[in-house]
Structure 1
């Protein structure tokens, strides 16, 4: 079916839902005893960028590196913070002191035993501006890191930072690496995870090998080959021919087809990530909230989701996890109102035909290109000339993320279930992920207030106010949450253990291959 026909004929309305299931051939359902051996060949949908877990801001790199590193703490299935490399942790009643007891006998990939000195080194490196760590602000309130003995770490805060523990559990902030290993992490990542780094051929493959001395028991697989195959059809063909054991990101228009194929396993879950349209706030038209709101009014989010995602997701006016306490349920998407948008643009000094916007979209996410193509017609109807510039992933990161050289773009964020990570990093004027140059004093004040609000319910209410401000000002146009998908050969076992509770990271510690 052509996309235009799909959009014309699509009438299904997909509300917020929860999906976490696996379609598995009946022959696979029998309980089997795991066996050791074999290399899993994974068709990775994205290009790995930076191998230094402190510096990387991309989920593509994190999915690989999370198998190389272990963190001081992690989260369980309900996103509660639990010990990982720490055996236990305590927080003082005033919220200013964190004491971690480390697991004895943890070994790094270089054979060195992990001690408190490694924790101190890792956290001070992440905090150091010279490192260029994306999670530097996690440690802004850290006054001191003391190591009274080899297995004890005491972190003292200069002021309360209520989300500190949960921030350590996400996106590499709590990853522990050997003392003085920082300079080589970008070319030879080293940690205490279940797999050790072997090699990286840029844009082609990352190879990992089982680390037999992993503290939580060795993996079953001999290794993992993460083959970088960004073209969806090529990735799917590799799975069908048996060249690949597993792929993530099944082409969105083929998910239903594969779910009906008894020869393959299909795993889907909700959500994988949220998508939003970005407007560069340094570009004069977008410094006017009326223009941003008008652009929001141009878009029919449900039709766009059906057309670009083939229904594999659910629209949302908020970037907060749909099941999280901080999700602002009172927000609703602005309905499409072309005439209202035209009037608002004219009021802002942009009559029909006068506004020309370049939309930079990365081919790394084909549905971003499809989204932009659908938007062109709606924007034409509203009197805005929208043109598309297609970029490779590397060029998008260089131009949009680093240089902020764009007018309008689109991006998705993964693993931002933790509200401080989400709202401080992405919308605070000092946030590491604020590549749109948003500078809203109300959001800055609220995200700082949340950090010193110890009561969980009260902190959730603060984040609901942040969401309201983002929506009121249309700082970004939040579109939807997208489903996650994995396709695998029947020989891949332990597939239910792969997806991290954050919905994005993949872990191969408990995966095995049938003989």
Structure 2
């Protein structure tokens, strides 16, 4: 059954959340203003787009940003990602490798779960073995594939010895994989989850609301907030209106258009992390018409990326080149920027016998600018002679449906290491392979890359993989948007950070003054 969207008036009422004082419009605001010393206390209410009534609190099943924000509040990983996509220690105090890069020793810091039990090496191995279960589809499974978990051992309660299947110079990034959270040994029921994160679970209503309270024994120091509440508001208009109306103090994922309209609004503060949100379209490479690389190449050439950045992002973004990770480590910036060429696209379509091709473009209101970008892109494709029908799918089920269904779909991604993007989305058995890219030679080249210790040689392999994707892949990446959140003026400590990195949605360091 389709779940109605929350409007500005119903966000708090439907979720049953607590009341809060009116927003402050005083000077100060988000960030680390020296005039505003951190203060303890209060509840922060944050509005995120959700995933409907099927949402769960199992941290190994995170998919949407709301899932990740909830998991981050309750759980911890061994490492997380800095803004440059380098691994930053979290539950792992340190990591060292042997000379062959095949055995990595991870020392755990002193930390406890919410029930008082210590975080042990046995909990780490249990968590990773659960994620790696071949009978399930946990998102981080492919990231953990280099680890031989049968051979890996707990040396003692605070030391894990990871034995790898092959040399891996970038192993610390594995520890920071999206969804690779540590749960207590034996945990299978997450209706009232126990983690080691900065907040303890309090309440959850799938598709509507979540609440968690400060954990005083958190290893990184108690959170400043007493409570964090996450409320579902799928439509961006509902999120910004709830913020402006005082129903929430944090609105996640705002569009450039909304940011421009509110940049002089004294009632709120905007925090933008430039170029951290990839936007594009995903073509299914295993079925007609996009199983023909000439058709994919024609679609690449019909896209006017500059128009999309200017129109959809109000110019607040960077033009993409059909590759993930612009500006990140290992990005192949030597590949020439693709330019629009309608005549060349028409010739490719004619050669493929697809001059009068009709396609269905799937989209939904699940992200800022999604439907607008689909409409503009459809017109660009029509200029090349393609017939395009836009299909508006149900926002609640969009991501699960387009993973396996359809021909081409609107797509976006937050930040992650390029290696994680490849392992999670582009290998034959990747769990979120939305383009259905299946190529044994590509898989083998990625395995070779992982096993290459020399940084120059490894970069050369990254370049080869990305050149192949640029030439024949199924991701059309037209731009990189600023990642924008809005806060009440009395909220402080929200950092500029790409989505899915350490400081994104890091509510334990936020305070209200």
TM-score with structure 2 setting the length: 0.89
1:89-168 counterparts in 2 under 5 A? 89-104=95-110, 106-143=111-148, 144-168=151-175
Distance 1:295 1:75 in 2: 34
Task: Give 3-state SS (helix, strand or coil) of 1:392's partner.
Answer: coil
The CA deviation string for residues 15-64 of structure 1, in whole angstroms up to 9 with x for no partner, is: xxxxxxxxx97445452332221110112134373422212233331122
Task: Give 3-state SS (helix, strand or coil) of 2:289's partner.
Answer: helix
- Please name the residue that 1:8 is paired with: none
- Please name the residue that 1:451 is paired with: 450
Contact in 2 for aligned 1:326/1:460 (Cα 8 Å): yes
Contact in 2 for aligned 1:269/1:485 (Cα 8 Å): yes
1:503 CA drift (Å): 8.0
Contact in 2 for aligned 1:360/1:410 (Cα 8 Å): yes
- Please name the residue that 2:384 is paired with: 382
Contact in 2 for aligned 1:40/1:221 (Cα 8 Å): yes
Contact in 1 for aligned 2:414/2:499 (Cα 8 Å): no
Closer, same or farther in 2 for the Cα pair 1:145/1:465, shift >3 Å?
Answer: same
The CA deviation string for residues 306-357 of structure 1, in whole angstroms up to 9 with x for no partner, is: 1122222111215343333412122234322223212211110112xx3111
The CA deviation string for residues 434-458 of structure 1, in whole angstroms up to 9 with x for no partner, is: 1221123442232111110112332
1:238 CA drift (Å): 1.3
Closer, same or farther in 2 for the Cα pair 1:78/1:329, shift >3 Å?
Answer: closer
1:106-255 counterparts in 2 under 5 A? 106-143=111-148, 144-173=151-180, 175-181=181-187, 183-185=188-190, 187-255=191-259
1:262 CA drift (Å): 2.7
Contact in 1 for aligned 2:106/2:159 (Cα 8 Å): yes
The CA deviation string for residues 157-208 of structure 1, in whole angstroms up to 9 with x for no partner, is: 23223332212113122x2110111x213x3333101012222212211112
Closer, same or farther in 2 for the Cα pair 1:498/1:245, shift >3 Å?
Answer: farther
How many residues in Structure 1 have an aligned counterpart in Structure 2? 482
1:121 CA drift (Å): 0.9
1:103 CA drift (Å): 1.6
- Please name the residue that 2:92 is paired with: 86
Contact in 2 for aligned 1:497/1:511 (Cα 8 Å): no
Closer, same or farther in 2 for the Cα pair 1:80/1:504, shift >3 Å?
Answer: closer
Task: Give 3-state SS (helix, strand or coil) of 1:208's partner.
Answer: strand
The CA deviation string for residues 67-91 of structure 1, in whole angstroms up to 9 with x for no partner, is: 2111112344544333221222211
The match for 2:70 among 45, 53, 64 is 64
Task: Give 3-state SS (helix, strand or coil) of 1:118's partner.
Answer: helix
Contact in 2 for aligned 1:363/1:369 (Cα 8 Å): yes
Task: Give 3-state SS (helix, strand or coil) of 1:496's partner.
Answer: coil
The match for 2:352 among 336, 339, 348 is 348
- Please name the residue that 1:12 is paired with: none
Distance 1:234 1:226 in 2: 14
Distance 1:300 1:275 in 2: 13
- Please name the residue that 1:15 is paired with: none
Task: Give 3-state SS (helix, strand or coil) of 1:260's partner.
Answer: coil
Distance 1:235 1:264 in 2: 13
Unpaired segments ≥5 residues, structure 2: 1-24
- Please name the residue that 2:22 is paired with: none
Matched, 1:38 2:42: yes
Contact in 1 for aligned 2:40/2:511 (Cα 8 Å): yes
Unpaired segments ≥5 residues, structure 1: 1-23
Distance 2:194 2:316 in 1: 36
Distance 1:121 1:222 in 2: 31
Q: Compute the RMSD of aligned alpha carbons.
A: 2.2
Matched, 1:363 2:394: no
1:495-506 counterparts in 2 under 5 A? 495-496=494-495, 502=501, 505-506=504-505
- Using CA pairs under 8 Å that are at least 6 residues apart, name the structure with larger relative contact order, 1 or 2: 2
Task: Give 3-state SS (helix, strand or coil) of 1:98's partner.
Answer: strand
1:497 CA drift (Å): 7.4
Distance 2:81 2:377 in 1: 38
The CA deviation string for residues 108-167 of structure 1, in whole angstroms up to 9 with x for no partner, is: 122222111111111111111234211112332323221122121111123223332212
Distance 1:51 1:415 in 2: 22
